[in-house]
Amino acid sequence: MSAPLPAGLPAVHRLEGLPTRVRIHEVGARDGLQAEKALVPTEAKVAFIRDLVAAGLPVVEATSFVSPRWVPQLADAAEVLAGIADAPGELDRHPVLVPNAKGLERAFASGATAVAVFVSATETFARRNLNMTRERALEVAQEVTATARGAGVSVRGYVSMCFGDPWEGPVGLDRVTEVSAGLLEAGCHEVSLGDTIGVGTAGHVQALVAAHTAAGVPVDSLALHFHDTYGQALANVHAGLVAGVTCFDASAAGIGGCPFAGSATGNLATEDLLWMLTGLGIETGVDLRAVLAAGARMTAVLGRPSPSRVAQALG
């Protein structure tokens, strides 16, 4: 008889050439919740973030200081930050999204010490998500980045619609590298390349990372942000690992989407990413069981089961 499987963890077999350590950038409380129609109580958001920190996630994006008219779910951004800021330096690990100077002002007033700016690689989504042209959105993000850096606040950059856009179709590699380079030049410490609607496949990931290298953007300044709409997220992470990327965004319980891109479903589930990385012997410092518990508590609040395959298998 074969030995029983270890309790809830895969056997470890390394694959030659992959990184030995990966940073998971947890986006459940922000990207995960932003598209939820029913308002999630602030205390449940704070508890979710605290659970994720306790699970060992090094970065847990907290919320967005976007227009509360555009995203009512995150209108309690200041209260969420107040609920998690109980130690000096604590907010360094909780970036908040800011779309413009007004958002940065509100983030500063709430004590944020890490922010993220976001620009679409495509024209249509720039207008639908930010009510600006793509060019203006990049300028605004650059201005916000310069102001934040001047105040000693770290800035992450996001590029959305890097693989395909529901209105414009496939997105050219250079449309993405232009925006990434612009964000890094302005002072972002890293750029996360978003597959907002989850249409990318592994070869496209490889080509996009290679296009960045060719454009002078080092691979260690890139993160990858996959939505799992077409079931490609883990294959795409694997392609990213092969290309040398060491930061991946994920959302506990696979919650998420974008209210301004109807075809965006949940983010890659943190639990599923952890299963794969654990099996590959890649260190993350994150406790899978604790993430499962955090995700289960949030899906109970949302009133629906987790789409994470690992959560379903171990739940």
Contacting range for ligand HMG; rule: CB under 6 A; set: 129-137, 215-223, 269-277, 292-300: 129-137
The span of 28-36, 40-48, 92-100, 274-282 binding Mg ion (CB under 5 A) equals 28-36
Question: 248-282: buried (b, 16+ CB within 10 Å) or exposed (e) per residue?
Answer: bbbbbbbbbbbbbbebbbbbbbbbbbbbbbbebeb
* Total interface residues for ligand HMG by CB under 6 A: 26
The HSE-up count of residue 311 (CA atoms within 13 Å, CB side) is 26
Q: Which is nearer to ligand HMG, 113 or 129 (CB)?
A: 129
Site for Mg ion in 197-256 (CB under 5 A): none
Respond yes or no: is residue 247 known to be catalytic: no
* Least Cβ distance, residue 233 to ligand HMG (angstroms): 12
Q: Which of 162, 188, 247, 258 is catalytic?
A: 258
Minimum distance from CB of 92 to ligand HMG (Å)? 19
The reply on whether position 130 binds ligand HMG by CB under 6 A is yes
User: Can you state the angle between helices 123-130 and 134-150, rounded to 10 degrees?
Assistant: 60
Compute the distance between CA of residue 178 and CA of residue 186 in angstroms, rounded to an integer.
12
- Of residues 53, 71, 239, 277, which one binds ligand HMG by CB under 6 A? 71
Q: Which amino acid, 97?
A: L
The yes or no reply on residue 241 touching ligand HMG (CB under 6 A) is no
> Contact at 8 Å (CB) between 253 and 306?
yes
Two structure tokens written together for 23: 């940073």
The window from 78-86, 123-131, 202-210, 269-277 that contacts ligand HMG (CB under 6 A) reads: 123-131
Shortest distance, position 157 Cβ to ligand HMG, whole Å = 10
Whole-angstrom distance, CA of residue 67 vs CA of residue 258: 14
Name which of residues 89 to 118 contact ligand HMG (CB under 6 A).
97, 99-100, 102-103, 106, 118
CB closer to ligand HMG out of 46 and 159: 159
Chosen from ligand HMG, Mg ion, none, partner binding at 311 (C-beta under 5 to 8 Å by type): none
Mapped onto helix, strand or coil, the DSSP state of residue 226 is: strand
Please choose, out of 29-37, 58-66, 90-98, 277-285, the segment that lies near Mg ion by the rule CB under 5 A.
Answer: 29-37
Q: Does residue number 31 form part of the binding site for Mg ion (CB under 5 A)? A: yes
Nearest-CB residue for ligand HMG: 194
51 forms part of the interface with Mg ion (CB under 5 A): no
Q: Which residue is it, tokens 């002078």?
A: 216
Encoded tokens for 271:
């639990």
Distance of alpha carbon 116 from alpha carbon 27, whole angstroms: 12
Task: Candidates 10-18, 54-62, 68-76, 305-313: pick the segment binding ligand HMG (CB under 6 A).
Answer: 68-76
- For residues 93 and 50, is the Cβ–Cβ distance under 8 A? no
Residue 310 backbone phi and psi in degrees, to 5:
-70, -40
Kindly write out the interface string for residues 257-276 of this chain, putting x where it contacts ligand HMG by CB under 6 A and - elsewhere. -x-x----------------
Count other Cβ atoms within 10 Å, centred on residue 170. Answer: 11
Which residues of the shown chain bind ligand HMG in the complex (CB under 6 A)? 31, 34, 64-68, 70-71, 97, 99-100, 102-103, 106, 118, 129-131, 158, 160, 194, 196, 225, 258, 260
Write out the catalytic residue numbers.
258
Which residues of the shown chain bind Mg ion in the complex (CB under 5 A)? 31
